[in-house]
Each structure stands twice: as structure tokens, then as C-alpha cells.
Amino acid sequence: MSPSTAPRSPRTSPTAPGITSSETTGAVPGWLVALLAVSCGMTVANLYYAQPLLPALHASFHISTATAGALITITQIGYTVGMLFLVPLGDRFEKRRLVTVLLAVTALALAMAGAATSFPMLLLASLVSGATSVVAQILVPFAAGLAPDHTRGRIVGQVMSGLLAGILLSRTLSSLVSDIAGWRVIYLGSAVLMAFLALALRSALPQHAPTTRAPYHQVLRSTVQLVRTYPALLRRGLYQAAMFAAFSAFWTTVPFVLTGPPFHYSALGVGIFALLGAAGAGVAPLAGRWADRGLVRPMTGAACAVAALAFALAGFGRHSIVLIALAAILLDVAVQTTLVLGQHTVYRLDPGAGARLNSAFIATFFVGGALGSQLGATVYHAAGWMAVTALGAALPVLALLYWATERRMSI
């Protein structure tokens, strides 16, 4: 499928498919950008609450560390499924209604997780909540569609800063709350938040008309065809898959490092450590500006190199909390940079297929994230932290080698 044959609404415009021109000619209201940023952060946090809880789940359900790590993998698999089969519906159905329905299902799944009486039940609930938490990836292209061309990178960066802050702060919130009230309260509390968020977005979001009237199966098929049509879509997805695999391997295993010798941190201590990574969220608006200035390619290479350096620091400084903390900050900065740069590139490929492009992009790299989580837990269980850091360093190096094959004007 070529860009000209992709399904579109007759109203599609170069800047904002499905939205009237009056909504795109001026600046996006600050309160709406803030709401979208907070919403993305709150929904994507559902994928990461479990990371610092793995030691507690290991004790609560009497399972091994490798089995506990499967919770992260299952959640990310659910997210990938949602990206493939739910996010493309953002081009097919009115977005406000779709967001409300998905958030309602998320709230029910999280309530089920909080009441889980067995680990398989928790896995099932996490699979469903992971799939429906793709609301964040419907809202990001929504924001991109509202923004004029010359500020799209900045607006996406601002919304992504909220999403990334949700990823990073979720670990701290999870640790703090579980240390005080137990791990179940994390899931039950998030269920309540999702219910309130559904009501808030239902009343605040403008209506967004579908950009295609094609049947559902054709929408899914066109998503696959977009990958074939735009080589940059697959390339950016593979870059991010390697980076996100490294990110997931680090954050899935570092709680075991911090709670073991020589640190012996409590769940609260792990949560405070996770706050350090939140400093990386500040790079998202900067990455958006770099993209607007045409610096996508050089900053992508720099970010891959920084991620590899982060794992080198984490390995050589395995007995130093300062070096491990520095590694966490550098890794988060690098991964967030490539994510914003990648989304900026992807959204420019076909304005009438924003949701489907985002679906293919995010699904590709979340497969990497799921593999990274499981590989990280397995490698740590078998060979320890040094082996995890070697794995983590190798992944961005592979991305960097692939990046070196990219023609300068290819994206």
C-alpha cells in the first residue's frame, strides 16, 4: 500500500486527520496538553507497577525469581497484543469513546489483579490490563494530530514527558505504597484512578472523527502493509526494540540487586532509587526540539552509545550505588530520546494513518521489551548481575551497528 492508497477520510488534512481545520491552525491549549500528558503517564504506569514488587510476589506466592519475572513479560505481551489489535481502532472509531471503553476494562482488570488469590490469576489480570493500557498510545498520536507541523515535535515531546514520567515514577509509587500497605493496594488504587480518568477524558476530549471507514480486518491488514510501505517505520521500531529490551532487562533485575548484598535495600529503598531515573523524563521535550531541528539521525546514534555506556558503568560499578544510579539515569535518558525521535519520524510518514503507524511502531519495540524482561530475569537467575550488564550493553551496540547502515537522508 502506498501513502496515496492508505484508507483515509475525505476530511483528512496534512496536520490533523479527522479534526476540523479550526482546531489545528492555532496552538494546542496548554491545559489539554497537560491532561494528555498526565493521562498517558497514569495509564502506562500500569505496565511498571510490578517491577519493584517482584521480591514481594516471590515471597507471597512462593515462586522463583525467574517465574516472578514472567509477570513483567506477560504484561508487556498484553501491551503488544493491544498495540496490534486495539490501537489501530483509533483510526476506525471515534477516539473519545474508544478511550473510555478501554479505560473501563483496564479498571476491572486491575481490580481483579488486586484481588488475585494465585499467581496465574495475577498473570491473567495483568495480561488484560496490559492490553487495554494502550490508551496512552492512542492519546499520543491524538496530540500529534492536534499540533501544527512546526510544533509537532515539541507537543509530542511534552506529552511523552508525562508518559515517561509515569513509567519512571510508577516504580517509586509502587514501592512506597506496597511498603506501607502491601502490593495489592497498588492494583486496587490504580483501578480507582482508571475509573476517574475515564470520566475526565470523556468530558474533556474533543471529538475526533475516524480517518477510515474500512472494515476492521482491512484496518489490521493495512497496518502490516504500512510496515512494507515505509522502511523507516520498521527501522525505527527495531532501534527502539533493542533499546527497550535493554531498558526492561535493567529494571526487571535491578530490584534483586538492590535488595541483596551488599545493599540490602527495602522495598522503600528500591522505590527511592527508582526516583533517580525520573530525571531522564526531562529529556523528552529536548528530544522533540532536536527532531524539529532535523537532528534525528545523529541524536539516535548518540543515544545508542550512551545506553551501552550506562551498562558498562553498571557492570564495573556493581558494588557502587552511585555508579548504578548514574547508569539508571543515562539509560533512561537514552531510551526516552530514541523513543521521541522515533515517534516524530513515524508520525510524519502518513498523517491519515497515525494510530496504525503508532501501533506497528510500539508493538515492534514492545516485543523487544518482553524479550528483554524475560532474558534479564533468566540471565540474572543463571549467571548474576554481570551477565545482565553484558546482555544490556550488547543490545544498544547492535542498534548502533544497524544505525550505521542508515543512509543520511533515508528518514
User: What's 6's DSSP letter?
Assistant: S
C-alpha cell at 295: 537532528
Query: What are the phi and psi torsion angles at 48 (to 5°)?
Result: -120, -5
Query: What number of residues does the chain have?
Result: 411
What angle, rounded to 10 degrees, do the helices at 135-146 and 354-383 form? 140
What type of residue is 126? S
Cα–Cα distance for residue pair 175/165, rounded to 1 Å = 16
What angle, rounded to 10 degrees, do the helices at 321-347 and 152-181 form? 140
Q: What is the pLDDT of residues 80-116, one digit of tens each?
A: 899 889 988 877 888 889 999 999 999 999 999 999 9
Q: What is the structure's pLDDT at 10?
A: 35
User: What's 149's DSSP letter?
Assistant: G
Q: What is the structure's pLDDT at 279?
A: 67
Q: What is the pLDDT of residues 151-195, one digit of tens each?
A: 777 787 788 778 878 877 888 888 888 888 889 999 999 999 999
Closest CA to 252 of 68, 77, 100, 46: 68
Q: What is the structure's pLDDT at 213?
A: 81
Residue 231's CB: how many other CB atoms inside 10 A? 12
Give the residue ranges of the chain where pLDDT is below 70: 1-27, 149-150, 277-281, 408-411
Residue 13's CB: how many other CB atoms inside 10 A? 15
Please give the CATH topology (third level) of the domain spanning 29-403: Growth Hormone; Chain: A; (1.20.1250)
Q: Yes or no: say if 117 and 222 are a contact pair by the CB < 8 Å rule.
A: no
| Cell numbers 475526565: residue | 200
* Alpha-helical segments (H) within 182-215: 183-204
Give the residue extent of every domain in the chain: 29-403
Exposure string of 152-181, with b = 16+ CB inside 10 Å and e = fewer, is: bbbbbbbbbbbbbbbbbbbbbbbbbbbbee
Cα–Cα distance for residue pair 214/7, rounded to 1 Å = 7
Q: Yes or no: say if 23 and 16 are a contact pair by the CB < 8 Å rule.
A: yes
Q: pTM for this structure?
A: 0.72
